[in-house]
Amino acid sequence: MFQTLRVNSPIYILHKEGTPYVEQGTVVSVSNPMPKFPMPNMQPFGTQAEMVVDVVANVNGQQQTFQKLPANKDVEDSLLHKIVISTNRDAMNAEVVALKQRSIDHINSVDYHQSVILGCDKILETLNPEFAEKQRRDKEMDDLRGQVAEMSGVLRELMATIQSEKQSAKSAKKTE
């Protein structure tokens, strides 16, 4: 738990933005537990005040402050900063496995989402004739672009052949 951390205790920070990576630091100080909401009337009626602590840690030679970590938990997932902070390695391992599994699930759902997109396009074509016409025009434009690109390639080859034949003819004249 964050409130039981002591000086020189390890702390783990998982950075989830971009390519994930983990940093390990050592605790420099931990504040005394304090209520998450300083004003008593901000606490929902009949509930006990959630306690938080501030932790200062030395991470890669720099001191970082992690504020309002839940005092009675081992892991805090900061959506705002896109990091996960943990007091122990096993909890961090579980977070990394969960992050990896979410990505695997997203990759495995690509086919499903592509079929949803196709199905929605068909429904939109049925319900909205303007959408169907736009789809038809877009496909026609893509086909025309492909044909123009193909014709450009053929023209380049033809020009290269003509240039080559001109060069051959000049060479043949010089040898005569």
Whether residues 16 and 92 share a domain: the answer is yes
Confidence (pLDDT) at 3: 87
Whether residues 26 and 55 share a domain: the answer is yes
In a domain, 136, yes or no: yes
**Final residue belonging to a domain, choices 108, 123, 146:** 108
What is this structure's pTM? 0.62
Whether residues 84 and 152 share a domain: the answer is no
Structurally, how many domains does the chain consist of? 2
List the domain range (segments joined by +) for residue 19: 2-108
Tokens 């738990």 belong to residue: 1
Whether residues 77 and 135 share a domain: the answer is no
Tens of pLDDT, residue by residue over 122-147, are: 898 888 888 778 888 998 999 999 99
* CA 84/CA 74 separation, integer angstroms: 10
Whether residues 90 and 117 share a domain: the answer is no
Tens of pLDDT, residue by residue over 81-120, are: 789 999 999 999 999 999 999 999 999 999 999 999 999 9
* CB contact set of 5 (below 8 Å; sequence gap of 6+): 11, 27, 30, 53, 55, 87
Whether residues 102 and 122 share a domain: the answer is no
Neighbours of 130 (CB within 10 A): 9
Confidence (pLDDT) at 42: 58
41 has pLDDT over 70:
no
The phi, psi pair for 170, rounded to 5°, reads -65, -40
Mean pLDDT of 159-167: 89
Whether residues 11 and 86 share a domain: the answer is yes
In a domain, 172, yes or no: no
In a domain, 174, yes or no: no
Whether residues 21 and 99 share a domain: the answer is yes
In a domain, 78, yes or no: yes
